[in-house]
Amino acid sequence: MSLFHRAAGLGLVALLAATPALAQQKTLRIAMTAADVPTTTGMPNNGFEGMRFLGYPVFEAPVLWDLSRADRPAGLRPGLAERWEQDPADPKTWIFHLRRGVKFHDGTDFNADAMVWNLDRFFKNDSPQFEAAGSGITRARIPIMAGYRKIDDFTVALTTTRVASYFPFMAVYLLMTSPNSWEQGGRDWARVAQLPPAGTGPFRLSRFTPRVSAELSKNEGYWDPARVPKLDRVLLLPVPEANARLAALRSGQVDWIEVPPPDAIPSLRQANFNVVTNSYPHVWPWFYQMGGSATPFRDVRVRQGLNYCVDRAGLVSLLNGTAEPSVGWLKPSDPNFGRPENRYGFDPAKGRALLAAAGFTPQRPLAFKVMISASGSGQMLPLPMNEYMQQNLREACGVNVSFEVTEWNTLLTAVRSGPEAPILNGSTAVNPSSPSSDPSVAARYFLQAFVPPNGFNWPQWNDPAFEEAFAALENAKGEAEFNAAYAKAHERLVDNPPWLYIVHDLNPRAMSRRVRGFVSAQSWFQDLVTVDLQ
């Protein structure tokens, strides 16, 4: 039995054991796609699924996502900071005015000292509380942090390495943990994870069993009385195999599953389950590696040609309409998509011609290896999807693709590694899904300054026209100037593609009709506060 099937089985055993004890309370049981419970120290692993379920419900940042609406992409709202602004004398400095009266779950106060303590935890390697794993995740998401200082008990200044109009979109990833939790854990993060640690969020982590489950409970003393959860508890179970999640939902062992198998969606609806989808800022691509000595992707004709070889409509059909074709980092409907010269569609003749011009012919076919995961946050159904891509590219354009199949967190580590790193085992492309929610994400994925280990520009992509347009975006003084620069930058992402654009996810999840009050936000993250059980 595979590791992933064993993990799924352990999760369901735990669920069955836990259900009777929780029957008297409103307990929402969720089957995640993760192969393990995300880490619990206040900066979860497992990508954005970790943030969705063991990040924001428990630990909060100065700035939070506004997940209250389904009809538009999620924006920002005040969190542990009531307001923030750029320093008029220094646009690289942002001033955060912290909320008063906020308590961590252990009863201690959140204030400027606690925030600076957490920043030291992530950004100061020689601090006693430095946490290497959490630091790696945070620094990758906020690669422009230069410094920070306490101004007074409820004001903190954060300084960036470059002017960044989008910095508040990075501040959402600064999750705060109680310094007292670390002391109670003997100043050992491994022990802190078992306590469990204290955040400020509407839920508190009440129980945690590695590989099996995590349990969240209502924070009755939450700082915003209007947002005290309706649920008493949330039980989180790692069930990476899609059919195992489906069986758990059908049998009543869970109330909610992430990413139901597409072919099961019609029968789920007929059986009176609620299947929810919504557009959100997500792209499921292959990243091209342009560094190293063994890559075929330095030639833009290869990268463009593959984008013309993909039958995206066929893949959407395989996914039963739970995705839409991707022809850029942003969706074509986005006002900042721009007007690129290339509008990728399924055009095998054009794809083969571009590959031939780059020297890849039927006599010398293009061949490369892609590192993929078996499941994970935002990965949809990666095994059948990648098998489809393998067959599609071979039949349409004579391209031979092989795979290095790994676990999701291993893939994330690989994406933070340089070309030809041993962890890649010869892969010259990787398949991690990506958010496309705001320019701060574009900065860390595409600017030359943020090649690993400084960010997520794993392809080692360098486009001077993109850099120029993005600098104009970072320094923009008004919305029109900002949007024009963003569109120009995105045109370069299409015409000089660092990625093979495949599909955008529609964020499907299935749940029992007992689940009420859920708003499918256009975001990777979702609000559990409004959810209730009938």
**Integer Cα distance of 46 and 34 in angstroms:** 7
Nearest residue to 329 via CA among 380, 283, 280, 379? 283
**Integer Cα distance of 288 and 228 in angstroms:** 45
Which phi-psi region, left, alpha or beta, contains residue 507 (left: φ > 0; alpha: ψ -120 to 50)? left
Contact (Cβ atoms closer than 8 angstroms) between residue 209 and residue 14? yes
Query: SS3 for 374-439, per residue?
Result: CCCCCCCCHHHHHHHHHHHHHHHHCCEEEEEEECHHHHHHHHCCCCCCHHHCCCCEECCCEECCCH
Phi, then psi, of 18 in degrees rounded to 5: -85, -25
Phi, then psi, of 239 in degrees rounded to 5: -135, 85
Query: SS3 for 327-357, per residue?
Result: CCCCCCCCCCCCCCCCCCCCCHHHHHHHHHH
Q: Give the number of other Cβ atoms within 10 Å of residue 132's Cβ.
A: 8
Q: Residue 36 has what pLDDT?
A: 92
**Integer Cα distance of 475 and 108 in angstroms:** 39
Phi, then psi, of 418 in degrees rounded to 5: -80, 170
Which phi-psi region, left, alpha or beta, contains residue 272 (left: φ > 0; alpha: ψ -120 to 50)? left
> Coil, helix or strand for 10?
helix
Q: Residue 12 has what pLDDT?
A: 55
Tell me if the pTM is above 0.85: yes
> Coil, helix or strand for 199?
coil
- Encode pLDDT of 405-417 as tens digits: 999 999 999 999 9
Domains in the chain with CATH codes: 1-52+201-277+507-534 (3.40.190.10), 59-188 (3.90.76.10), 282-505 (3.10.105.10)
Beta bridge partners of 497: none
The pair of structure tokens assigned to 256 is: 């909610």
Contact (Cβ atoms closer than 8 angstroms) between residue 45 and residue 133? yes
pLDDT tens series, the chain, 534 aa: 333 343 344 445 545 444 455 557 899 999 999 999 999 999 999 999 999 999 999 999 999 999 999 999 999 999 999 999 999 999 999 999 999 999 999 999 999 999 999 999 999 999 999 999 999 999 989 999 999 999 999 999 999 999 999 999 999 999 999 999 999 999 999 999 888 789 999 999 999 998 899 999 999 999 999 999 999 999 999 999 999 999 999 999 999 999 999 999 999 999 999 999 999 999 999 999 999 888 999 999 999 999 999 999 999 999 999 999 999 999 999 999 999 999 999 999 999 999 999 999 999 999 999 999 998 888 999 999 999 999 999 999 999 999 999 999 999 999 999 999 999 999 999 999 999 999 999 999 999 999 998 889 999 999 999 999 999 999 998 899 999 999 999 999 999 999 999 999 999 999 999 999 999 999 999 999 999 999
> Coil, helix or strand for 364?
strand
